[in-house]
Every structure is written in C-alpha cells, then in structure tokens.
Structure 1
Amino acid sequence: MTEQTRLAEGDAAPDFTLPDSTGKPVSLSDYRGRKVIVYFYPAAATPGCTKQACDFTENLAALNDAGYDVLGISPDKQDKLAKFAADEGLTFPLLSDADRTVMTKWGAFGEKQNYGRTVMGVIRSTFIVDESGAIELARYNVRATGHVAKLRKDLKV
C-alpha cells in the first residue's frame, strides 16, 4: 500500500466548503465554537451507509444536547444526497465531495482492503473536531453498524 495522509488527535482539521443536499455551501469553519462530528461514508442509499446515517439521526438530539453537530460527507452528487435524506428522514447536513478532494485531505480516500483485494475507495471514517478546529478524535475503518453507539459511549453522551 502507498503512504496516505492520516489525521491524528491534535492536528488542525483541514477546512472545507462543500455543497449540501440542497446546494447550499457548508464550511467546517461555520461550526467554530461547537464540536462537530465529521464522518465519511462510501455511498448514499446503500445498506451500511443507510444504517449509519439513520443511527446518527436517531441519536442527533442527544448529540446536539451534548454540544455536537454532525456532518456526513460522501462522493455522491447533490441530487442523490437529497433523495437519500428525504427517503430516510435524515436531519443533519449531507455534503457532496464528488471529486474526493476533502476525503483525500482527511485520509478518508485511498487504498483499502475489500474482500482481500487492494482497491481505491472511501475509507469509512469518523472525526471529532473541537471548538477551535482541532482533531479531538480520529477513527479510520469504522464499522457502519454499531458505530454511533460506540461513539456515544466514547464521548460519554
């Protein structure tokens, strides 16, 4: 495997501005002063990604009450994200990184193992960005199922 960027606790979170499912630009810097859960997922409307997104929605009130906002980022186009959000009742911003630039900067796109083969793709990853824009927690290769419950346990939420 080739060397790829991996973010670690204490690193500055790479800023970004990406369109959400309605086309509105959303910047990480918009969230300064609050903690943000930024998670990267491979594809909207697939079983694992749907489970993960629904888990975040079901836990969103508790996360928000504890001071955390949630942003989901995938390479899907805006129209697919809008349909995904509407079909699943998702209530947090889904952002489109169609050219995978942001994913690459965050280490969430690159070589990974898939059924024993090395392939290029989205590495399911979750980050906590603190109020000042630093990485507080970085998790790569997370599982879609059970991830939000584990995250809540780790965050004591």
Structure 2
Amino acid sequence: MTHLKAGDKAPNFSGQDESGNTVSLSDYKGKKLVVFFYPKASTPGCTAEACNLNDNFDRFKSQGYEILGVSADSAKRQSNFKDKYGFKYPLIADEDKSVINAFGVWGPKKFMGKEYDGIHRTTFIIDENGVLENVITKVKTKAHTEQILDK
C-alpha cells in the first residue's frame, strides 16, 4: 500500500495528540522512533497491538526508541483509548488524515466482502536521522514488539 521503503526519508509530519499537543517528526530528532498506524482505537486488533507495544515500552526505551501511535480517531476517542489501557506514548488524532496520507497508509480495503477506504495497519521504524529503517506491512498484533526489535 505505502510507497515508502527502508532507506527513504521519513515524511515530515505534524499532528495533534490525544491531549491537543502538537507532535512532529522534528520532536524526535536524534532519537529512534516507531510510528504505528492502526485502523480504529479500542477494537480488538488495535488494542492487542497497542498493548503489546506498551507492555514492552521499557524494552523500547532501553534500546533508544520512542513510540507514536496514529489513527483517524478523534482526540476524545484517542484519549479514552490511552487512559483505559495506560499507554505510555502519545496517540495522534489524525482526523484530517494529513499524517496518514503523508505515509501513504490510506486506501481501499476489503472486509467481509465489502470494499471501503481505511487505514492499512503499517509500522514505520525511523532512525535518529529521520530515515526509514524498516516498514512493516504484515503486522502481527500480538507479537509486534518482536517484529520490530528482533529483526
């Protein structure tokens, strides 16, 4: 789905998190960043993925990674999702899809015989210089940490 690949420069994004704070790629200059896109807050697959990353948050931090979640949900829905599960990382409420479109993860999907447009579950690993280290398009929601850190 996305046209981005390892070695590409990460899109220079900016969006509002669940608390209304502006979050930009430049905030993470000099740090490694995991940006994961998920279809909808509080759904089973998205919850499994977000919780898996949160449960391993200290492991990510010890290896120099920050984490950032993105979906097209409202700030209120993102805030409720974060509060319910105690996520230690920000969630961008990308209702205008500016970050989603910058990374190219919005497009046609099929579910139960119906076709519709939505977010393709994709994770981008960005190095300290803003370059994509890896793009994961086949996300294993319950074992996502291993996909990222045990590559």
CA distance, structure 2, for counterparts of residue 62 and residue 145 of structure 1: 16
From 92, 96, 101, the counterpart of 2:98: 101
Equivalent residue number for residue 31 of structure 2 = 34
| Runs of 5+ unmatched residues, structure 1 | none
SS in 2 for 1:146: helix
Whether the 8 Å contact between 1:123 and 1:141 is mirrored in structure 2 is no
CA distance, structure 2, for counterparts of residue 130 and residue 113 of structure 1: 32
Letter in 2 for 1:59: N
Whether the 8 Å contact between 1:104 and 1:110 is mirrored in structure 2 is no
- For this pair of structures, how many residues does the alignment match? 151
Equivalent residue number for residue 137 of structure 1 = 134
CA distance, structure 1, for counterparts of residue 30 and residue 145 of structure 2: 23
Letter in 2 for 1:135: L
| Runs of 5+ unmatched residues, structure 2 | none
- RMSD (Å), alpha carbons: 1.4
Whether the 8 Å contact between 2:36 and 2:122 is mirrored in structure 1 is yes
Letter in 2 for 1:137: N
Q: Which moved more, 1:105-114 or 1:66-75?
A: 105-114
Whether the 8 Å contact between 1:35 and 1:69 is mirrored in structure 2 is yes
The percent identity for this pair of structures is: 38
Report the TM-score, using the length of structure 2 for normalisation.
0.93
1:66 aligns with 2:63: yes
Structure 1 residue 116: Cα displacement: 4.7
CA distance, structure 1, for counterparts of residue 145 and residue 98 of structure 2: 25
Report the TM-score, using the length of structure 1 for normalisation.
0.90
1:110 aligns with 2:113: no
Q: Which moved more, 1:106-115 or 1:47-56?
A: 106-115
* Deviation readout 1:93-127 (Å, 9 max, x if unpaired): 11111011211221211123323544211000001
Letter in 2 for 1:26: V
Q: Which moved more, 1:111-120 or 1:10-19?
A: 111-120
SS in 2 for 1:127: strand
